[in-house]
Amino acid sequence: MELTLILGPMKSGKSFDLISYFAPLRYTKKRFALFQSERNVRDNQIESRNGALLDANKVGSFAEIIDAGYEIIGIDEIHMFRPEEAENIKKILQKGTQVVVAGLDLDYRGEMFLIIKKLLEIGPLRVVYRRAVCENCHEHNAVYTQVYNNGAPITEGMPPVIPDDGTFTYSPLCRSCFKAN
Ligand SMILES: [Zn+2]
């Protein structure tokens, strides 16, 4: 079946897109489920910034759901998964399950997450690129997520996954305002 990617920086409405896609399915007979990384420390729900919520299951690997027989699955924050998980997503698609994935495409250096690269290589039917409002110049054209440690932009030496524990702060920024290494 087909793969859809919803990509963009922090605060660009990716989770809301995902929720909008799946919320109506609750009233159908479709076998569907939403997933997020077990590394996500928040509740078992996907939440968008405007307050919309849907229940989600935490998984470490998609190997667990290849044979689960879902008609459609959604995955939030795909960048929190290991790159090898792209192979499991391919297997899920081959089983006839439709997959809708949301997440950051670019890391704190402005470089593409390896799992996103691998998913693009599978040949998604749709790739939706979202923009956020740049928190520096306030234009609606942010494509990057700048990560700060005590107010200073980090341009190297950080694991490519952004922890969600308050250690780091982050801002969506446009091409002019983003500081790459
Ligand atoms: Zn800007």
SS3 assignment for the chain: CCEEEEECCCCCCHHHHHHHHHHHHHHCCCCEEEEEECCCCCCCEEECCCCCEEECEEECCHHHHCCCCCCEEEECCHHHCCCCHHHHHHHHHHCCCEEEEEECCECCCCCECHHHHHHHHHCCCEEEECCECCCCCCCCCECEEEEEECCEECCCCCCCCCCCCCCCEEEEECCCCCCCC
What count of other Cβ atoms lies within 10 Å of the Cβ of residue 41? 10
By percentage, how much of the chain surpasses pLDDT 90? 72
What CA–CA distance (Å, rounded) separates 168 from 147? 7
116 belongs to a structural domain: yes
| 178 has a pLDDT exceeding 90 | yes
- Å from CA of 141 to ligand 1 middle: 7
* Domain membership flag for residue 57: yes
CA of 129 to the centre of ligand 1 (A): 17
Q: How far apart are CA 145 and CA 8, in angstroms?
A: 9
Please tell me the distance between residue 135's alpha carbon and the centre of ligand 1 in angstroms.
7
Q: For residue 180, is it within any domain?
A: no
Distance (Å) from CA 174 to ligand 1 centroid: 4
Residue 163 lies in a domain: no
Task: Give me ligand 1 centre to Cα 142, in Å.
Answer: 7
State the pLDDT at residue 3: 98
What is the number of structural domains in the chain? Answer: 1
**Residue 170 placed within a domain:** no
Q: Is residue 13 part of a domain?
A: yes
> Residue 30's domain is classified under what CATH number?
3.40.50.300
Tokens encoding 28:
């159908």
Task: State the distance from the centre of ligand 1 to the C-alpha of 155, rounded, in angstroms.
Answer: 17
Q: Is residue 40 part of a domain?
A: yes
**pLDDT, tens digit, 9 for 90 and up, residues 18-35:** 999 999 999 999 999 999
Residues contacting residue 130 through CB under 8 Å, at least 6 positions apart: 6, 7, 8, 9, 12, 13, 14, 17
Ligand 1 geometric centre to CA of 111 (Å): 18
Question: In angstroms, rounded to a whole number, what is the distance separating the alpha carbons of residues 96 and 70?
Answer: 8
Q: What are phi and psi of 134, to 5 degrees?
A: -65, 125
Of 2, 7, 3, nearest to 145 (Cα)? 7
Helix-helix angle 114-122:85-94, to 10 degrees = 20
Cα of 169 vs centre of ligand 1, distance in Å, is: 17
More confident residue, 167 or 68: 68
Q: Tell me, in angstroms, the distance from the centre of ligand 1 to residue 157's CA.
A: 24
**Domain contains 34:** yes
Q: Which domain holds residue 45?
A: 3-129
pLDDT for 106-164, tens place per residue? Answer: 999 999 999 999 999 999 999 999 999 999 999 999 999 999 887 889 888 775 555 66
